[in-house]
């Protein structure tokens, strides 16, 4: 019998070939400079000290040349340091943890749905199917007004929810950091669907008696990616206001936005969105570089609002009965994919190592010149980041990003577990995910974190953070009493 020739793929460890290629390309300057430096050193040793001294003595410098050279060096150094952007540090953050009295098990949610929609059993059945496949767990929470039958979404109740969520998160953050209200220079509050007068930012100013010259901003209608928009705004403000603190508050108030109609596309948010919020303290003070948890490296924002389908894929409107709700389009995942593609095209050159960028460029040239049917090369973002915080918008969102970015189960663990424990808390979900990674003791000094969020409009926003110091496992926080039981297995369908 003829000897079977082993296949190349099996006989050669392609994984190690790729690792070798990455190491070579990423350290190409080192490989080029080391031989040059060795050659120069050998030549200096060959010449000897006496000849070197004679060469030095043969050089003639007058006072004017020395002064001009010194002035030029000082001028260039001054221009460089003055034009260099100020570093933005994330000192600490805090996530709101709802009380157990707000918990909504599946049985409670379905019982309320049957009573509220008793004249529309098909809508009840639809909600049950969504909930079975949602990836949510039994401990997610809704605000007290939604627990009433029927729900009582009054303005007073909505303000009450906002006060509890926002003030609790800020109080905890101030306790962690030792921050005093008078220390806050910039305040940014984002909440998409609840925008009262006075604003939520004014509510915070009034509660904590903040300074009269505080720079206060209130962002609404920005969707689930609003937290990263707030971070970007805070970063820009910190560039022009030296030695300042910026307080960012991200939340979504559920009370006034519970849909009581029967349109299926508008019932989806009822099944996915839950209460939550986060407060984040940013600083540009040099003394905070050592105590801060993270340093902001990049923020990339992509807006697809020029396209009509993208603009209307997450749309607040009235149903035929005049009941207001959020309509989620069937094209949502396709539009999100296009927005993600644009976003990673921009962020890739900023974060990817040279080896990945070279492979991507060669594939792109090959497709343009030789064969357009070549499969496009998907950069390995695992080479650029140790941790991924993908907006916990729903199981389908996490599944799609895991597939497109070729991530492992561990890379999306924080997103899946956040969705299971807290549900879709809108813009604040990214901070629950980062808190999960810290609670697991996985955040080490030098680790890079990629936060990705999607929002109405349609937007895809990214932020890249670098960990300043190894973070000890926290003794408090939203995961304090349940982190030991996570990760949990989440079945494809939970039969109700």
Which of 191, 391, 411, 468 is an active site residue?
A: 391
Beta-sheet strand order (sheet of 387-390) = 215-219, 186-190, 245-251, 277-283, 89-95, 294-303, 459-467, 448-455, 387-390
Which of 95, 141, 191, 224 is an active site residue?
A: 224
How many whole angstroms separate alpha carbon 277 and alpha carbon 225?
13
Q: Is 27 in the active site?
A: no
316, two tokens: 């607040």
**CA nearest neighbour of 204 among 227, 188, 220, 193:** 188
What phi and psi, each to the nearest 5 degrees, are found at residue 335?
Answer: -65, -40
- Residues 6 or more apart whose CB falls under 8 angstroms from that of 411 comprise 382, 387, 388, 402
Q: Is 241 in the active site?
A: no
Q: What is the full DSSP assignment across 336-373? A: HHHHHHHHHHHHHHHHS-HHHHHHHHHHHHHHHHT-TT
458 preceded by a cis bond (ω within 30 of 0):
yes
Cβ contact 228:454 at 8 Å: no
Q: Is 420 in the active site?
A: yes
Which of 270, 424, 461, 468 is an active site residue?
A: 424
Instruction: Give the orientation angle of helix 49-58 with respect to helix 28-47, to 10 degrees.
Output: 90
How many whole angstroms separate alpha carbon 138 and alpha carbon 126?
19
Which of 27, 147, 241, 303 is an active site residue?
A: 303
Which of 95, 270, 389, 420 is an active site residue?
A: 420
Cβ contact 225:389 at 8 Å: no
What beta strand segments (E) does 14-127 contain? 89-95
Neighbours of 1 (CB within 10 A): 3
How many whole angstroms separate alpha carbon 96 and alpha carbon 59?
69
How many whole angstroms separate alpha carbon 174 and alpha carbon 160?
21
398, two tokens: 């996490």
217 preceded by a cis bond (ω within 30 of 0):
no
How many whole angstroms separate alpha carbon 427 and alpha carbon 15?
38
**Length of the chain (residues):** 496
How many whole angstroms separate alpha carbon 395 and alpha carbon 136?
9
Which of 327, 387, 389, 460 is an active site residue?
A: 387
Q: Is 424 in the active site?
A: yes
How many whole angstroms separate alpha carbon 284 and alpha carbon 264?
47
Q: What is the full DSSP assignment across 8-55? A: HHHHS-HHHHHHHHHHHHHTHHHHHHHHHHHHHHHHHHHH-HHHHHHH
- How many Cα atoms sit within 13 Å of 496 on the Cβ side? 21
Catalytic residue ranges: 224, 303, 387, 391, 420, 424
């Amino acid at each position: 019998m003829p000897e079977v020739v082993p296949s190349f793929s099996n006989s050669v460890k392609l994984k190690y070939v790729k690792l070798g290629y990455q190491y070579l390309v990423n350290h190409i300057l080192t490989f080029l400079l080391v031989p040059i430096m060795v050659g120069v050193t050998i030549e200096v040793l060959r010449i000897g000290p006496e000849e070197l001294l004679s060469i030095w003595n043969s050089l003639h410098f007058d006072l004017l040349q020395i002064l001009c050279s010194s002035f030029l060096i000082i001028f260039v150094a001054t221009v460089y340091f003055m034009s260099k952007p100020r570093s933005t540090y994330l000192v600490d953050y805090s996530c709101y943890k709802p009380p157990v009295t707000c918990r909504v098990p599946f049985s409670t949610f379905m019982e309320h749905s049957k009573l509220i929609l008793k004249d529309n059993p098909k809508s009840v059945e639809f909600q049950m199917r969504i909930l079975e496949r949602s990836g949510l767990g039994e401990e997610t929470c809704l605000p007290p007004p939604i627990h009433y039958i029927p729900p009582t979404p009054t303005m007073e109740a909505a303000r009450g929810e906002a006060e509890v969520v926002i003030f609790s998160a800020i109080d905890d953050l101030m306790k962690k950091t030792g921050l005093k209200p008078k220390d806050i220079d910039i305040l940014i509050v984002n909440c998409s669907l609840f925008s009262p007068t006075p604003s939520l930012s004014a509510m915070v100013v009034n509660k904590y008696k903040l300074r009269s010259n505080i720079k206060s901003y209130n962002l609404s209608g920005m969707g689930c990616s609003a937290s990263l928009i707030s971070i970007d705004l805070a970063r820009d403000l910190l560039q022009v206001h030296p030695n300042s603190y910026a307080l960012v508050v991200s939340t979504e108030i559920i009370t006034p936005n519970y849909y009581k109609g029967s349109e299926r596309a508008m019932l989806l948010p009822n099944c996915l969105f839950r209460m939550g919020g986060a407060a984040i303290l940013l600083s540009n003070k040099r003394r905070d570089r050592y105590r801060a948890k993270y340093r902001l490296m990049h923020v990339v924002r992509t807006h697809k609002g020029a396209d009509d389908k993208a603009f209307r894929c997450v749309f607040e409107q009235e149903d035929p009965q005049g009941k207001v709700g959020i309509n989620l389009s069937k094209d949502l995942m396709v539009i999100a994919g296009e927005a993600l593609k644009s976003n990673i095209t921009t962020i890739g050159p900023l974060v990817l190592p040279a080896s990945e960028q070279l492979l991507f460029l060669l594939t792109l040239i090959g497709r343009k010149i030789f064969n357009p049917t070549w499969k496009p090369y998907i950069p390995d973002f695992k080479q650029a980041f140790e941790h991924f915080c993908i907006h916990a918008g729903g199981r389908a969102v996490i599944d799609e990003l895991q597939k497109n970015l070729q991530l492992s189960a561990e890379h999306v663990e924080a997103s899946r577990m956040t969705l299971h424990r807290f549900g879709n808390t809108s813009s604040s979900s990214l901070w629950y995910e980062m808190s999960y990674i810290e609670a697991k003791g996985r955040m080490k000094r030098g680790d890079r974190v990629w936060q990705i969020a999607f929002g109405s409009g349609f937007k895809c926003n990214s932020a890249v953070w670098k960990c300043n110091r190894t973070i000890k496992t926290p003794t408090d926080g939203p995961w304090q009493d349940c982190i030991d039981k996570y990760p949990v297995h989440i079945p494809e369908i939970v039969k109700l």
